[in-house]
Structure 1
Amino acid sequence: MSLIKLLRKQNRKLLFTTPSHSQKFFIFNKFRQFYKYDISETDAHNPQEALKKAEKRASIIYKTKYTHFLTNGSTSGIIAAVLSCVKPGEKVLIWKNAHQSHENAVKLAGAIPVYYDLPVSNEWGVPQKTTPDLINVKGVKAVIVTSPSYEGITSDIKDLKDVCEKNNAYLIVDEAHGALYPFCEKLPESAVNIADFTIQSLHKTAGGLNPTALLHVNCNLSASDALAMINTTSPSYPLLASIEANINYLNSVQGRKKINQIIEQIEEIKSSVKNVEFGGDDITKILIKHSKMSGFELSETLFEKFNIEDEKTNETSTMLLCGIGTSENKLRKLKQALCRL
């Protein structure tokens, strides 16, 4: 039985167990439906078995050895990956300006962080991709790479994997912003079938609830023990069920069609809007700049004049993030705003 079906199943047992709200006592009434599905590891429900089956089905969809559901964001996936492949005193190569979870994971493992830097594009003001010539893999146990970046800059994961393999280092890819990649050929290639560990945030672009995420494992190591060390023993089964539903949707004909429709509309914006320049490798991260405005001025104009808030801005460019929930109407209004700049 899937987690989704399990939560829909009516329980007829009298539970003198946790959670104490018993699915019927709603302190926060707006969340009453959430309370109804908030179960725990009781014999009546036995959600652990359903979770194992859901994760197994996910690994088949992604073609990975293991796929783990995360309810503490990609941060927990990064930490678990590092704990799984690194021992105290070993070195881990990380980008100097990476998400704080990268350095924290290394410290929690008792390992030694070694930093590499990335050049910043003068044309766009964003960090460029990670290439083999920018990293020194000799003597390190693992390498953590961010791809795509916030702004949608992607690295060649196959090239990086080759370098890591030659130096007996594990490759961990923070693909938090690339959860749509496995489901659309118009998007960059995902790392899930290349890197040893790949972490994706469903809540960033794939329509998931905060802070749902995935940890994909494609090596002979297990991340289960590491996840058990850092995760709660009382997970949110409604969130876990939402992950199962999220993956099922992305992998469905309807989900793949939705992704393509969003991309086609963005392609139309890029072909018809002539007064801004577009950049980046990932079309769902709309990276733009204007010849007569700085990135910050462009961001402020969009916000104040057109009620549009961007995801990230620098002195040169602005990035507007799109995902599975980006509506046709929202993109149409963005197009109108860009044309009026």
Structure 2
Amino acid sequence: MDIERQKCAPIYTALERFRKQRVVPFDVPGHKRGRGNPELVELLGERCVNIDVNSMKPLDNLCHPVSVIKEAEELAADAFGAAHAFLMVNGTTSSVQAMILSVCKPGDKIIMPRNVHKSAINALILCGAIPVYIDPKVDTHLGIPLGSELSDARAAVEANPDAVAILINNPTYYGICSDLKGLVKLAHEHHMLALVDEAHGTHLYFGPDLPCSAMEADADMSAVSMHKSGGSLTQSSILLVGPRVNAGYVGQIINLTQTTSASYLLMSSLDISRRNLALRGKESFAKVVNMAQYARHEINDVGGYYAYGTELINGGSIYDFDTTKLAVYTRGIGLTGIEVYDLLRDEYDIQIEFGDLSNMLAYISIGDRIQDIERLVGA
């Protein structure tokens, strides 16, 4: 990574330059810098609506980037260790679908775990590919699905040598990681592409002592949800592409479904967040890991709850564990995770990520503070 170059944020810089020019708008959006919708200005602020603009010469165009957006994508590729990166504004749903649509044609087989995100299933509907499912093992005590075992993936590959790709979830919502390097190697040995749904793994590229990232494992494409743990605005994402894949063709596939009115609020947030992670990510995620580990220790001292972590690692279905994920088993106190979710929200004004029949998940990232962790633990 070129640290000196990573200090640049070309989309942000272009927007700041544009904002100071006081250009008279006779293009969309129709709110005209907020003048046509004062309530919107009151809600979002003048600076925000002033840069909610359309594509134009000095600001480039996401559908065919040639200047500042192209430079921002090159910087993202450098930061994440990819051959190419695409800024995505239709969420990581569109990133996952672009991966699958880029490699699968009607009738092609793709090997994937059964607990994939619905975006992957919808991509199969769109392209007519045939899924070959790997059933993930389940921790029957915690009630959570685990990662893809290498032996199960190998069996699926050997039974379906005509498959074109393997899709891997890494990490899962609960922090479970598969043997990513082993799975990628398996795919390549059988002339298949390795695609990774890395929606919950942005931080793996920047944090110290965290599980392996997709690009580090030599995967061919990865869908990275920058807004989840990377600090960008909701709905913004990055699609990473490795050297084995034709990035020009992937761009054509993206343009089949992605908006032609890309939000500069989303794109600039990706640009700024990439710079922040490249320059300060290691330090920031070291703090995140420390906060999550502190919370895990304190919660386990309460009794009845079980905040699980690296002790689950078994070298197979739990090859590694993402310690930033604060997943807590709640049945020991006689409550479901859903009930704990509701209690925290309704009684303590604490919003966690989700609750299921046995667990709750608190998502800890770069915006959290130790006093917030104390409040969660104290509740």
Shared fold (TM-score, shorter chain, > 0.5): yes
Matches within 5 A, 1:1-341: 2-9=10-17, 10-11=20-21, 13-23=23-33, 25-27=35-37, 28-29=40-41, 30-31=43-44, 32-43=46-57, 45-46=59-60, 48=65, 49-135=67-153, 136-137=156-157, 138-193=161-216, 194-218=218-242, 219-222=244-247, 223-253=250-280, 255-273=281-299, 274=301, 275=303, 276-280=305-309, 281-290=321-330, 291-296=332-337, 297-303=339-345, 305-337=347-379
Is 58-67 or 184-193 further displaced after alignment?
184-193
Shift of 1:140: 1.1
Is 44-53 or 154-163 further displaced after alignment?
44-53
Shift of 1:11: 3.0
Residue 53 of structure 2 aligns with an amino acid whose one-letter code is: I
Partner Cα separation in structure 1 for residue 296 and residue 34 of structure 2: 51
Is 10-19 or 206-215 further displaced after alignment?
10-19
Q: Among all aligned residue pairs of Structure 1 and Structure 2, give the percentage whose two residues are the same amino acid.
A: 26
1:53-98 per-residue CA deviation (whole Å, 9 max, x = no partner) reads 0100111111110111111111111111112112222111222232
Partner Cα separation in structure 2 for residue 217 and residue 202 of structure 1: 15
* Equivalent position SS for 1:114: strand
Partner Cα separation in structure 2 for residue 20 and residue 300 of structure 1: 40
Please tell me whether the aligned partners of residues 289 and 298 of structure 1 are also in contact (alpha carbons under 8 angstroms).
Answer: no
Closer, same or farther: CA 332–109 of 1 in aligned 2, 3 Å = same
Shift of 1:175: 0.7
Partner Cα separation in structure 2 for residue 128 and residue 196 of structure 1: 23
List gaps (5 residues or longer) in structure 2.
Answer: 1-8, 310-320
Residue 266 of structure 1 aligns with an amino acid whose one-letter code is: A
Aligned to 2:313: none
Is 168-177 or 321-330 further displaced after alignment?
321-330
1:123-145 per-residue CA deviation (whole Å, 9 max, x = no partner) reads 31110111222231232111212
* Equivalent position SS for 1:252: helix
Closer, same or farther: CA 303–239 of 1 in aligned 2, 3 Å = closer
Residue 208 of structure 1 aligns with an amino acid whose one-letter code is: S
Closer, same or farther: CA 25–62 of 1 in aligned 2, 3 Å = same
Partner Cα separation in structure 2 for residue 201 and residue 288 of structure 1: 23
Is 159-168 or 263-272 further displaced after alignment?
263-272
Shift of 1:216: 0.4
Residue 177 of structure 1 aligns with an amino acid whose one-letter code is: H
Equivalent pairs counted in the alignment come to: 336
Shift of 1:211: 0.4
What TM-score results when the alignment is normalised by the length of structure 2?
0.82
* Equivalent position SS for 1:235: coil
Is 42-51 or 226-235 further displaced after alignment?
42-51
Partner Cα separation in structure 2 for residue 122 and residue 300 of structure 1: 24
- Structural RMSD (CA): 2.1
Is 136-145 or 314-323 further displaced after alignment?
314-323
Structure with the largest fraction of helix? 2
* Equivalent position SS for 1:3: helix
Partner Cα separation in structure 1 for residue 120 and residue 256 of structure 2: 17
Partner Cα separation in structure 1 for residue 58 and residue 12 of structure 2: 16
Shift of 1:294: 4.0
Closer, same or farther: CA 57–78 of 1 in aligned 2, 3 Å = same
